[in-house]
Copies of this chain bind each other. A is one copy, B any other.
Amino acid sequence: MSNTTTKPSRREVRAAASDYIYNLTGQPFPNSHKVYVEGTQDNVRVGMREITLSDTFIGGTEENPVFESNAPIRVYDTSGPYTDPDFKLDVRKGLEKYREKWIESRGDTEILDSVTSQFSQQRMADEGLDHIRFEHLPKIRRAKAGKNVTQMHYARQGIVTPEMEYVAIRENMGRAKIREELLAAQHKGESFGASIPDFITPEFVRDEIARGRAVLPNNINHPETEPMIIGRNFLVKVNANIGNSSVTSSIEEEVEKMVWSTRWGADTVMDLSTGRYIHETREWVVRNSPVPIGTVPIYQALEKVNGVAEDLTWEIFRDTLIEQAEQGVDYFTIHAGVLLRYVPMTAKRVTGIVSRGGSIMAKWCLAHHKENFLYTHFEEICEILKQYDVCFSLGDGLRPGSIADANDEAQFSELRTLGELTKLAWKHDVQVFIEGPGHVPMHMIKENMEEQLKHCEEAPFYTLGPLTTDIAPGYDHFTSGIGAAQIAWYGCAMLCYVTPKEHLGLPNKEDVKEGLITYKIAAHAADLAKGHPGAQERDNALSKARFEFRWHDQFNLGLDPERAREYHDETLPQESGKIAHFCSMCGPKFCSMKITQEVRDYAKDLEARGIDPNNVGDAIEIKMVDVEAEMKAKSDEFKKTGSEIYHKAV
C-alpha cells in the first residue's frame, strides 16, 4: 500500500500554476469570512478571519431542543485579499497599493523619473523580456535627499505611524472592542517592560520599534503589504522560502507559491531565486504579495558575475541593493559578519560552511585575501536602506550545518560581529534582525538565544529551525520544528520554515503547505508557552467543539480544515458521522466524552447537596501496607546478596 500519486510533469505543474494564479477569486476558508477592524488613524482597516461556529446542544427534548450559541473566533490572517471574495483579483495588475496614501502623506519621499539601478535600466530596455515582464510597473519612490524614511526613525521621534497602529490592532486579534480600547489607551503615556502586555497599544508598538526590539518591515516601494511586526513581545512569525533555481521552476509557480504561502500562514516570504529572470520573477512576486518580501541580494549579484564569487565587487552588489530596494523588497539578508579571520575556524567542522551566502563571501575573502566587502561597506549599505526602509536581516553565514558543529567558535564569533553591526545600523535608524541556525541539539538551543540577546541587544532573532537531529532527511520540517518551537518559546521572534524537501530538493506546492503548517504549529505552541494573551482562545474553542462533537467546528478552527475533514471522512464518510455524538475510535456504543456529562451531573448533585467530594459515600479505603518498611527490608536483603553474587543464567 504505497503512495501511488503519479508525479506530474514540469509542463503540467506550470499549467496548474497558471490556472491557479489567473483564476484567483478570494476563496475564504470554510465557515470563515473576512472582517475589518478600523483604527483611529486614516484608512487603518485591519483584516482578520472570523470563524463562525455552530450552537451547542445543551438539553430539552427532541421536539424542543435547547441550544447555546458559541461566539465566533477571530484569528490572525496573513492571506490579505486572497481570502476576501469582495476583492477583484488580477495578478497582472497586482494588489491594491493600500499603504500608498500613508507614505505619501508623510511628505518625505519623492517619485523618481526612472529606476536608479543600471541593471534595472538594462532589463527595462530589453525587448526580449517583454513577454515575461510585469505590465503594470509602479512608479519608484525614494526618500527625499537627507530624509530617513524608516519606521524606526519615525518611532524614535515619537511618531505612531498608521503602520504601527495597524500592527497593534492585528496583534490583539481576538478582541472585539479593539477600536474603543485603542482610543482609551491612546494618551495614557504608559511605560513598558520587556514582556508582552495584556493589550497591545500603538504606543507599545512604537516603543518596541524605537528600542530595536521589534521591526516593521515595509519598503515604501511595496505599498501593497499589510503591516506586520517581528519581535519577541509579539506573536511568533513564520517565513516561507520560495524561489526558482537554475534547475527548475517558472514565474507562474513562484507567484503561486507566494499566494499559497500566505494562505497557509506565511508572515513573510523570502524569494531565494537563483535562476534566470530573477528580476522579472521578483517584480511579479512583490506586486502580488500582501506580506513583506525578503531576499538574499548576493545570490543575484553572483548571477551577474556568472557564478564566479571572486568576480563580485562592491559596485555590482550596491547596484543590486538599489535594484531590489526600488522593486520593493522589504528585507535583505546580508552576510556581513563572515570575516576573513573567522573563515579558517570552519576548517575542522564536519560540514564546513553550509550557508550559500556565507560560502560565497568566504570564497571572495579567500580569493582576494581581503576583508568581506559587506562589512567594510556596511555604513554605505545603511545609507541605501534608510532611503527605502529596507530592513537588515543579518545573515549567519557560518551557521552550523550539522549537530556536530553546533555552537562552535566560528558561529559565535560571527554572532558577536552581527551584534556590532546591529548597533551600527541603529545609529542610522535602520531596522535590523538577526539570522540564526541551523542544526543544534535541544540542550544547546537555549545558549543560542541567550548569546543572541546579549550580543545583539535584543534585536529580533530569526532562525532556520534549528534542526535537532541530522538523521531524518525527508522529515526535516519536523526535526527542525521541534527546535523552532523551543527557540521561539525562549524568545526567537520569527521562524524560517523548513520543508520536507530540505537537503534533498526544491519544495513543490504541497511541501510549502506542509512546511508552513508545521511551523505555524511551532509558532503557536511557543505563543502559548510564552503566555501571549489571547493565544489560547483558539485552542479552547477547538477543544470545546471537539468535546461537544461539533465536528465541523473542530475542522474549521484547525490550521488545515480540509485535511481534518478528509481524515475524518476516511473512517466515517457519511454526513451523519459529522453530527453523530461519537467518534470512530470508540464507536457508537461507548464514548468517554459522553460519560463526562454524567460526571458533571454527579458533581452538580454533590454540590447541590453540600457534599465534599473528598468524603464521598462509602468509598472503601484500601489497606495500604507499610510499603516503606518493606522496601527497606527488600533493599537490605539485596545488598546482602546482590552486591556479591553474579549468577549466570540458571
In the A-B complex, the 8 residue pairs with the closest CB atoms = A352-B596, A158-B642, A505-B571, A347-B603, A402-B543, A359-B592, A442-B529, A246-B587
Interface residues of A in 494-519 (CB under 8 A from B): 500-501, 503-506, 508-510, 517-518
Nearest CB on B from A598, distance (A): 6
B105 touches A649 (CB 8 A): yes
Residue of B nearest to A620 (CB): B371
A590 touches B302 (CB 8 A): yes
- Not counting A41-B648, A362-B595, A472-B520, a sample of 6 additional A-B residue pairs whose C-beta atoms are within 8 angstroms of each other reads A1-B510, A189-B643, A346-B599, A353-B595, A423-B631, A424-B627
A644 to B188, CA, bound (A): 10
A358 to B595, CA, bound (A): 10
A158 to B645, CA, bound (A): 6
A1 touches B8 (CB 8 A): yes
Interface residues of A in 615-650 (CB under 8 A from B): 615-622, 624-625, 627-628, 630-631, 634, 637-638, 641-650
Q: Which of A176-184, A388-396, A479-487 lies at the binding interface?
A: A479-487
Interface residues of A in 576-590 (CB under 8 A from B): 583-590
Residues of B within 8 A of A486 (CB): 442, 482, 486
Residues of B within 8 A of A621 (CB): 371
A 560-574 to B, binary, CB cutoff 8 A, 1 in contact else 0: 100110111011100
CB of A304 closer than 8 Å to a CB of B: no
Q: How many monomers of this chain does the complex have?
A: 2
Across the interface, A567 reaches (CB within 8 A) one of B275, B345, B500, B595, namely: B500
B509 touches A1 (CB 8 A): yes
Residue of B nearest to A424 (CB): B627
15 sampled A-B residue pairs with Cβ under 8 A: A1-B13, A1-B510, A107-B650, A157-B647, A161-B649, A189-B644, A203-B646, A247-B584, A343-B602, A370-B619, A403-B543, A427-B634, A469-B524, A473-B546, A506-B571
A404 touches B536 (CB 8 A): yes
Residue of B nearest to A570 (CB): B505
CB of A33 closer than 8 Å to a CB of B: no
Residues of B within 8 A of A510 (CB): 1, 3
- A589 in contact with B646 given A369-B618, A427-B627, A478-B518 (CB within 8 Å): no
Across the interface, A638 reaches (CB within 8 A) one of B158, B471, B526, namely: B158
A 314-353 to B, binary, CB cutoff 8 A, 1 in contact else 0: 0000000000000000000000000111011111111111
A613 to B344, CA, bound (A): 7
Nearest CB on B from A378, distance (A): 7
Nearest CB on B from A480, distance (A): 10
CB of A426 closer than 8 Å to a CB of B: yes
Across the interface, A599 reaches (CB within 8 A) one of B353, B619, B650, namely: B353
A638 to B443, CA, bound (A): 40
Residue of B nearest to A584 (CB): B505
Interface residues of A in 411-437 (CB under 8 A from B): 420, 423-424, 426-427, 429
Nearest CB on B from A212, distance (A): 9
Residue of B nearest to A245 (CB): B587
* Residue in A246, A420, A563, A642 with the greatest tally of chain B CB atoms within 10 Å: A642
B506 touches A547 (CB 8 A): no
A3 touches B5 (CB 8 A): yes
CB of A11 closer than 8 Å to a CB of B: no
- A624 in contact with B420 given A352-B599, A539-B402, A642-B210 (CB within 8 Å): yes
- A643 in contact with B158 given A506-B571, A543-B350, A554-B473 (CB within 8 Å): yes
A160 to B557, CA, bound (A): 54
Nearest CB on B from A264, distance (A): 12
Residue of B nearest to A647 (CB): B159
A275 to B585, CA, bound (A): 11
Across the interface, A474 reaches (CB within 8 A) one of B401, B558, B634, namely: B558
A648 to B206, CA, bound (A): 12
CB of A7 closer than 8 Å to a CB of B: yes
CB of A124 closer than 8 Å to a CB of B: no
Interface residues of A in 147-197 (CB under 8 A from B): 155-162, 186-187, 189
Nearest CB on B from A92, distance (A): 21
